[in-house]
A = this chain, B = another copy of it.
Amino acid sequence: MDTQEQFTIPRLGEAKVSSPIKMSLVDGDKIANYVKDDEAILYDIDIRKQDLQEAAWKPRQMEKAGPREKIYFSPSHVHAGIVTCGGLCPGINDVIRSIVRTLWYRYGVKRITGIPNGFKGLLPEYGFSPIELDPDIVDDIHKVGGTILGTSRGGGERTGELTDTIERMNLNILFVIGGDGTQKGALKIASEVLRRGLRISVIGIPKTIDNDLAFLQKSFGFETAVGRATEAVAGAHTEAHSTINGVGLVKLMGRDSGFIAAHTALAVNEANFVLIPEVPFDLDGSNGLLVHLEKRLAERGHALIIVAEGAGQEHLPPTHMTDRSGNKVYNDIGPFLKDRINAYFTEKNIEVNLKYIDPSYIIRSSRADATDAYYCSRLGSHAVHAAMAGRTGMLVSLVNTYYVHLPIETVISRRHTVDPEGSLWRDVVEATRQPVLMKNR
């Protein structure tokens, strides 16, 4: 287990400016309190009882997020920028809206600039014009999905040029809404900024619909994604249930982590097979998917399969390609499975009615449900508080139900995946009653 040092958050300098937000320092006056710098949240809380007896036992801590009494920047001089990168995810506009409103109304920051179309909006060759932001402009944006700033993949590796533009724009703060690859780019900018001796805070708001970033309790948009996925899977169930040997096959997001598939299966509680990247499976053989599917159809006359996009890649030829975000391009498991299942039953001369659903873009483009809406609202505020307090190279996030600061460096060092031996997957296997492992030894 790593030590707690790794959660140290870089700071631009001492915070000496009195915050324009009026709060309290005492308990009992019914007035909200500032967060103090020594407040922390324990991370390692899943223990064996004897752990506590050991003198050496030391749970890791994370810095608590929230408004500070003393801040680093003088609000009236601040120029803040916001950029959104990578694929769509419900809630991006909610985060943008919250950042703008917190800057404007709480801190009095009136110069807020939207960078158009991701990091490319900072690269002069594309010629995109920055977008001025204020509370009026963002007033209704949370009512639609997507990002009003536009987004793109790639560009984050061109640290020097990006930093040049940021410097030229006289930005003091840059909020970066994006995933793994994007935050790597943000971290490099934060380092380059420090190397050049600039005083620019770079704060990330992690965006990953797959919920695959380490340490985070959940990423924003995830609950909405499960909600939309649940609707699509319910449709597949209806289709399967209404025909002779109906098979509903739904591909859900999840390149390396099967969280959406797993939670959706638990929400609909009608899936019979859930396939995720973390748990390999055989197609053929007596313990393969096809035989188990045949048994299920013989027993009940219909079946429902959820497959995460990254599952079963071992059955597909590699594409040897990467997308503009630097992610390996996967082969498409959905049509592959569809064809294999149809071929299997055709050969056996068994009538099967397979309906394949790929709801990916419908899910990604959804506006945020209420659960994500209040989460995004709070993430945005906490990002602003962190920036104004002079933090940099960090992400705001929720950990163990508390809002905390996390160093980007640590978060991107690994990935969050479904533990095949943990309680989530256990509950999925229980709910689907699929074989614990569909491998022929």
Interface residues of A (CB under 8 A from B): 21-24, 27-33, 35-36, 38-42, 45-50, 52, 58-59, 61, 64, 66-67, 88, 94, 97-98, 101-102, 105-106, 117, 120, 140, 142-147, 150-152, 217, 223, 226-227, 229-232, 234-236, 238-239, 241-244, 263-264, 266-269, 279, 355-359, 361-362, 364-366, 369-371, 373-374, 377-378, 381, 400-403, 420-423, 425-427, 429-431, 433, 436-437
Contact = CB atoms under 8 A, between A and B. Distances in A.
A425 B23 CA distance: 12
A411 to B, nearest CB: 17
A403 to B, nearest CB: 7
A369 B42 CA distance: 30
Nearest to A92: B242
A360 to B, nearest CB: 8
A269 B142 contact: yes
Contact of A362 (B36, B94, B144, B357): B357
Given A279-B30, A403-B423, A371 B227 contact: yes
Given A236-B361, A400-B400, A370 B264 contact: yes
Query: Which secondary structure dominates where chain A touches chain B?
Result: mixed
For the complex formed by this chain, how many copies does it contain in all? 4
Contact of A421 (B30, B266, B403, B429): B30
B146 A373 contact: no
Contacts of A59: 42, 52
A152 to B, nearest CB: 6
20 contacts: A30-B279, A31-B421, A31-B437, A36-B48, A39-B49, A42-B42, A45-B400, A46-B64, A98-B269, A146-B239, A146-B242, A217-B401, A235-B366, A236-B365, A242-B365, A269-B373, A356-B361, A358-B358, A377-B431, A378-B427
A41 B30 contact: no
A412 to B, nearest CB: 22
Closest 8 CB pairs of A and B: A32-B426, A266-B374, A146-B242, A235-B365, A42-B45, A238-B365, A146-B238, A267-B373
Nearest to A36: B48
Contact of A377 (B28, B267, B357, B364): B267
A61 B47 contact: yes
A368 to B, nearest CB: 8
A61 B49 contact: yes
Given A242-B151, A373-B267, A38 B33 contact: no
A64 B47 CA distance: 9
Given A120-B244, A238-B146, A402 B45 contact: yes
A381 B120 contact: no
Contacts of A230: 370, 373
A105 to B, nearest CB: 6
